[in-house]
Amino acid sequence: MAIDGETETSARTEVGADEDGCTCAVDEQRPDLDDSHRDLRDDEFWRHVPAYAELSAAEFHDHRFQSRNCITSARKLREVLQDRASAAFYADVEAGVKRSTMSLRLSPYLLSLINWDTPETDPIRTQFLPLASRFRPDHPELHFDSLNEQADSPVAGLTHRYRDRALFLALDTCPVYCRFCTRSYSVGLDTEGVEKVHFGATLERWEQAFSYIRQHPEIEDVVVSGGDMYNLKAEQVELLGRTLLDIDHIRRFRYATKGPAVMPQKLVSDDDWVEAVAGVAEEGRRRHKQVSLHTHFNHPAEITAITQQGLNRLLERGVIVRNQTVLQRGVNDNVAAMRGLILRLSYLNVQPYYVFVHDMVRGVEELRTTLQTAIELEKEVRGVTAGYNIPAFVLDTMGGGGKRHVHSYEHYDREQGIGVFTSPAVRPGQQFFYFDPVDELNAAQQARWADADERLTMIESARQAAAH
């Protein structure tokens, strides 16, 4: 039988069995069958940045150098990059930082991975360095702390929304600051536009959270987040972990950190910190409890050979690592980037767990996508690898309804950009909304969103449609 002018035999190069044992032919002509996800960058990529040009690999990949030399202002960015960026670019960043809800903190590692020939469109720059020229007006229905975390907090820094789970915000600082942070209401330094609600890493505050958890035996699962536990000292990591393990009804908990994506050197050169995480996980296994680490990669370019070296240290000690990605316009809202990220994470034995539709966060409207984008991406990537390594595409509903699968809406008006969800297990009988970015809608719909009365009419219409 001929296939595009060739015989069936010549078009097929290999016969094997799939994961279910089914014998099938592998088609060499399929363009998606490539192994580029295995090609981890292992060059001296930092040398194209003037301030780092003379650094050896040992110097650059020391976690202490990375932490001490983070970019924290537009002025410092100019000092480090010098003539690698234009005066117009520096001015754009400076104006963007002044308008941002998040303070600036960018590791030398991430800075060096940015393509400084085209920084305006670089996916890493997009996530961490704000450009005022790219800003879009916030959606008119946006609310600070849109996920309602503070209202669901019985004690400071502990959110208890789901019956058997709690979110423990151990601290309010991070190794770097992401522009799109959901907790911009608390994380990082105060900015010109935002006075933060701070959660310091104090034992007194931690004890209040531990006391609440002890008094609620329905809680079996705790997410230890922040801020970022990467910034905790080794002894704090161990204290926190062993305290949770000592609570009988806690069956599992997760350390949440973006650290491996933004400063993997810590996993290579901070032995005490790695030992603390691995030791708690090992003790958990002895007690038949699960301790895992959840990290946060958004683009395959963030994953290099030093990333693999660091993550391998956790793998060698039996630490389970999962990943949660945020879907962002201009970063990973295309099939090639999302597919590459999933395959590269899988190659490193990091389980792609969630892809979150971007939350409604102040000052980053140009990063949000439509709900339809997430729905289409989920369809495209399902099947590129084993099912347990395909992430669930979800959104965290405004107002505290919790996570819902992107396909599970009760009503979605793509023209008006309104999605309506329900959350029977978390808040039965209530409706929760997701609103597409206004600038992604046609001109007529943008005009309606600009009119307060029309806006209320559209939302009420969507509410009624979802109810029926």
Residue of 161, 179, 254, 329 marked active site: 161
Q: Is 165 a catalytic residue?
A: yes
pTM: 0.89
Write out pLDDT tens, residues 373-426: 999 999 999 999 999 999 999 999 888 888 999 999 999 999 999 999 999 999
- The yes-or-no verdict on residue 197 having pLDDT over 60 is no
d(CA 333, CA 420): 22
Which residue in this structure is represented by tokens 């505290």?
A: 400
Residue of 165, 196, 254, 404 marked active site: 165
Q: Is 174 a catalytic residue?
A: yes
Q: Is 162 a catalytic residue?
A: yes
Choice among 19-23, 142-146, 208-212, 274-278 with the minimum mean pLDDT: 19-23
DSSP 354-407: EEEEPP--TT-GGG---HHHHHHHHHHHTTSS-GGGSPEEEEEETTTTEEEETT
Residue of 125, 172, 178, 185 marked active site: 178
Residue of 359, 362, 368, 409 marked active site: 359
Distances (CA, A) of 297 to 74, 143, 242, 344, 420: 25, 26, 27, 10, 28
Residue of 228, 270, 333, 396 marked active site: 396
Q: Is 181 a catalytic residue?
A: yes
Which residues on neighbouring strands pair with residue 221, listed in sequence order? 165, 252
- The yes-or-no verdict on residue 54 having pLDDT over 70 is yes
Residue of 403, 427, 455, 463 marked active site: 403
Residue range 247-252: mean pLDDT, rounded: 98
Residue range 9-15: mean pLDDT, rounded: 34
Choice among 156-160, 184-188, 247-251, 404-408 with the minimum mean pLDDT: 184-188
Q: Is 285 a catalytic residue?
A: no
Q: Is 196 a catalytic residue?
A: no
Q: Which residue from 294, 289, 348 is spatially nearest to 316, judged by alpha carbons? A: 348
- The yes-or-no verdict on residue 7 having pLDDT over 50 is no
Write out pLDDT tens, residues 433-466: 999 999 999 999 999 999 999 999 999 999 999 9
- The yes-or-no verdict on residue 368 having pLDDT over 60 is yes
State which H helix or E strand residue 428 sits in. Answer: strand 427-435
Q: Which residue from 153, 180, 169 is spatially nearest to 227, judged by alpha carbons? A: 169
Choice among 46-55, 147-156, 300-309 with the minimum mean pLDDT: 147-156
Q: Is 22 a catalytic residue?
A: no
Residue of 105, 125, 179, 183 marked active site: 183
Distances (CA, A) of 258 to 225, 231, 284: 10, 10, 22
Side chain identity at residue 35, one-letter code: D
Answer with the residue of higher pLDDT: 354 or 17. 354
Q: Is 396 a catalytic residue?
A: yes
